[in-house]
Amino acid sequence: MLKKFKSITCYSLVISFIGFSTQINAEKYEEIPLEHFSCWSNTYGFQMSPSGTYLAVLTSPKENECDIHDVKSEYVEKSSRYRGLTMIKLSDMSRQVLFDGTPGNGISSFSWLSDNRFSFMPQAFEQVGRNMNALQVFAMNADGSRKRSLLEYQFGAEGLRGFEVYNTNPEVDDEVFVYWNKRRSRVSDYYKLNIRTGVPKLIARGPDIEDYEVIYFSVEDDDGYPVTVMTDVGIERVLYTYDKDSKKWSEHFRYRCQEPHFTPVALLDDGRWLVSGQKFDTNMNVIEDLDKNALYIYNPKTREFSDLVYADSIYDIGGFTGGCRSGTPMSANVNQETGQLRSLTYAGAEPTTLYFDDEANEINNEADKQSDEIKFTSRQLRESLQAIFPNDWVAIQTSDGNNTKGVFRVYNSNNPGDYYYFDLLKGQVFMLYQNSPWLDRDVLTKKQLVKYKARDGLTITGYLSLSKKKTDKNYFIILPHGGPNVKEGFGYDGWVQFLTNRGYNVLQPDYRGSTGYGRNHYVLGNRQWGKTMQDDLSDGVYWAIENGYADEDRVCIAGGSYGGYASMAGAVFTPELYRCVINFVGVADMRDLLKGFGSKSSRFNTWEDEGRLEWGDDKGPDADKYINEISPLLHVENIKAPVLISHGTNDRVVPVEHARRLRSEMERLGKTYEWHMQAYEGHGFYGELARLEHYQVQEKFLKKYLEN
């Protein structure tokens, strides 16, 4: 298995470029209208049929232009939420509009069932109400013929009952494999479904888990049978395995959150698993703990691990950081026809791809071979396309079984995403669609990966975005991410682009408690809100000052959710450090957040167990002392900087009372603050007009208090 990571020479391609340029003007600057940061772009979807005969394009009937919708309660024009479907036959590029996306003629879901048949669910429109057609799944041929109903969704005591396709069956064209929760709402069973008759056939029942368990994921073999599922049981995670012969599930491995673990990433042809985590012996005792999640081959029958397949010295390779929270995002590229794992891409400093099909799909370049016999490995495909866009990242969205044609995305921190069609046999690449085409990629700024040392020696990784605007001072904003147990992203960030465009340098650190950097980095954040987690932010500011990115008297802290909490913690615990503070939907009163933590959840949502471990608890002898120490609301008297308090009245995650109590305390103590409330918004602002107003308020606030 190790040899599948070897390097190979990229297949030489001659590509014709149509309608775009790869040149970048790094120094170009102009002020971007706030509307351009506020508008939602249309969203398109692309799915190629398994053998590449058709390309399905999910579209919106709305023109992809920036026009702020002025009805706050609707967020954005209704038409932008509608979805039509255009089918392209790739042999001659002929197009057929099967659904135009107008009311009564749109779809809400799409999935290929075979190379010329797909399933879909009609879209429910406000104008016509929710009729039964909106709660049915249909099958249809790619040319629009032979439409038939497959399933009517049913309402149960615990939610909707319906099915989801998880695999096609290459050996039987008229058959697919589906999850169906007809028997129990929370746990699906496994079926074969005839896509012509709509008749399902049970092949395996789902596991009989407890009421308080929640299934995280399920893995199936090529025959559609379940292999393993992973569940959340309070603070523990459990892997169950399925035996085809006995038709029974059994517990295979159980571990406690924040302890060594492993989770399956993919199945191999011989029945073994590719797993992410640590290495164990056959008695499930850890024998190789690399802190960061690494890749191993695991035999579930013998419980034996291979030697290390791949590890990154800094980042988790997928899986769950500390076995608890989602680590570095990972995506798998699987051959739709064979089910073979082609490649895995994980989020390190940038997207990093591991290739598994270098030898499985060797290229045959003999001149007398037919074009449909030529195959490209994932490495050859991606590196060929990446060579066209050396300054950006390339991600394959969909492709045929031979990797000869498909759709790929080009993106970066200064590019919200451009989509292109490629046909390597014809040497063609042309643009299909741009996210937010009104944003000039040359004007937007790129993130730089940076590292600095916290005061206790811990390495903090972050992203620095430098303004292109010429300013008389080094204006600086530290922008801690929400979560807090997530990883900062390297892609496009509209808030960051707004700030840098207005002349402010921005630092986004992955402080301790962030995921993706191994168990130790994550666990060091346990119950450190306002303490060492906050020190990491302060040390980031000191680093920026020392390196000339910030003037010490021109620093602001801003953030949303936990980032809003961190902003207020900075205001009350290190008031001398900040000239201004932006608290967006942030926690102000830890007593409210942690009080009765478990009672705020249910058997359908188990997040409270991790929260008590990571954030704190209101139980125990020292609980009140800890909560009082870290609650910004109780230390408002320390604030020196002006504070922008921005919240949504419909926030169910951090209730608006946090903002209101903070405002009352600021008024009582005579502190300077500005107030921005959105009536129709919740935990984040999603309406175009609300987003625009939020940017306008921030722009005035920063000019008034950071620049003057």
Q: What are phi and psi of 637, to 5 degrees?
A: -60, -20
Q: Dihedral through CA 678, CA 682, CA 686, CA 687, nearest 10?
A: -40
Per-residue model confidence as pLDDT tens digits over 146-169:
999 888 877 766 677 788 888 888
C-alpha 356, offset from chain centre: 23
Rounded CA gap, 185 and 179, in Å? 11
Those residues whose C-beta lies under 8 Å from the C-beta of residue 658, and which sit 6 or more positions away, are: 586, 587, 588, 589, 592, 633, 647
**pLDDT tier at 601, thresholds 50, 70, 90:** very low
Task: Kindly state the average pLDDT of the residues 521-534.
Answer: 97
pLDDT for 126 beyond 90: no
DSSP 637: G
Task: Kindly state the average pLDDT of the residues 316-328.
Answer: 87
Rounded CA gap, 259 and 376, in Å? 40
- Between the alpha carbon of residue 541 and those of residues 40, 189, 487, 491, 556, the distances in Å are 32, 52, 19, 22, 10
Rounded CA gap, 20 and 679, in Å? 42
pLDDT for 22 beyond 60: no
Contact 664, 592 (CB under 8 A): no
pLDDT for 8 beyond 50: no
**pLDDT given at position 56:** 97
Q: Which residue has the tokens 């790094």?
A: 26
Contact 654, 615 (CB under 8 A): no
Please tell me the least confidently modeled range out of 99-108, 240-249, 254-263, 361-370. 361-370
Per-residue model confidence as pLDDT tens digits over 502-512:
999 999 999 99
Higher pLDDT, 387 or 104: 387
E strands present in 8-153: 16-18, 45-48, 54-59, 84-89, 94-99, 107-112, 117-122, 136-141, 148-152
Average pLDDT over all residues of the chain: 88
- Torsion 79-81-82-83 (CA) sign: positive
Task: Kindly state the average pLDDT of the residues 480-498.
Answer: 95
Task: Kindly state the average pLDDT of the residues 339-358.
Answer: 82
Q: Which residue has the tokens 């790619």?
A: 142
Rounded CA gap, 598 and 59, in Å? 42
Please tell me the least confidently modeled range out of 66-80, 567-581, 597-611, 676-690. 597-611
Per-residue model confidence as pLDDT tens digits over 38-80:
999 998 999 999 889 999 999 999 999 999 999 999 999 988 8
**pLDDT given at position 1:** 29
**pLDDT given at position 160:** 75
**pLDDT given at position 4:** 29
Domains, in order of start, for the chain: 447-589+631-707 (3.40.50.1820)
Rounded CA gap, 630 and 612, in Å? 15
SS3 663: helix
pTM, to two decimals: 0.91
Q: For 501-567, give the DSSP string.
A: HTT-EEEEEE-TT-SSS-HHHHHTTTT-TTTHHHHHHHHHHHHHHHTTS--TTSEEEEEETHHHHHH
Q: What are phi and psi of 373, to 5 degrees?
A: -100, -10
Higher pLDDT, 664 or 378: 664
SS3 373: helix
**pLDDT given at position 339:** 65
pLDDT for 529 beyond 50: yes
**pLDDT given at position 337:** 63
pLDDT for 596 beyond 70: no
pLDDT for 579 beyond 80: yes
Taking alpha carbons only, the member of 150, 218, 161, 153 closest to residue 186 is 161
E strands present in 272-312: 273-277, 279-280, 286-288, 294-299, 304-305
Taking alpha carbons only, the member of 687, 683, 679, 693 closest to residue 653 is 683
Contact 587, 564 (CB under 8 A): yes
pLDDT for 298 beyond 50: yes
pLDDT for 11 beyond 70: no
Amino acid at position 328, single letter = T
Q: Which residue has the tokens 């940076």?
A: 450
Q: Which residue has the tokens 């967006």?
A: 584
pLDDT for 15 beyond 60: no
Share of the chain above pLDDT 70, in %: 90
Rounded CA gap, 668 and 665, in Å? 5
For the record, the structure tokens of 34 come out as 């706030």
Rounded CA gap, 650 and 686, in Å? 12
- Torsion 231-237-243-249 (CA) sign: negative
Task: Kindly state the average pLDDT of the residues 409-417.
Answer: 96
Taking alpha carbons only, the member of 78, 77, 79, 82 closest to residue 134 is 82
**pLDDT given at position 362:** 44
- Torsion 179-185-187-190 (CA) sign: negative
**pLDDT given at position 656:** 96
pLDDT for 552 beyond 80: yes
Rounded CA gap, 419 and 394, in Å? 10
Rounded CA gap, 683 and 586, in Å? 9
Share of the chain above pLDDT 90, in %: 68
pLDDT for 95 beyond 90: yes
Higher pLDDT, 650 or 4: 650
**pLDDT given at position 433:** 93
**pLDDT given at position 369:** 46
Rounded CA gap, 62 and 75, in Å? 15
Taking alpha carbons only, the member of 547, 530, 640 closest to residue 593 is 530
Counting Cβ atoms within 10 Å, is residue 225 exposed (0-12), middle (13-18) or buried (19+)?
Answer: middle
Buried-state track 278-307, b at ≥16 Cβ within 10 A, e below 16: bbbeeeeeeeeebbbbbbbbbebeeeebbe
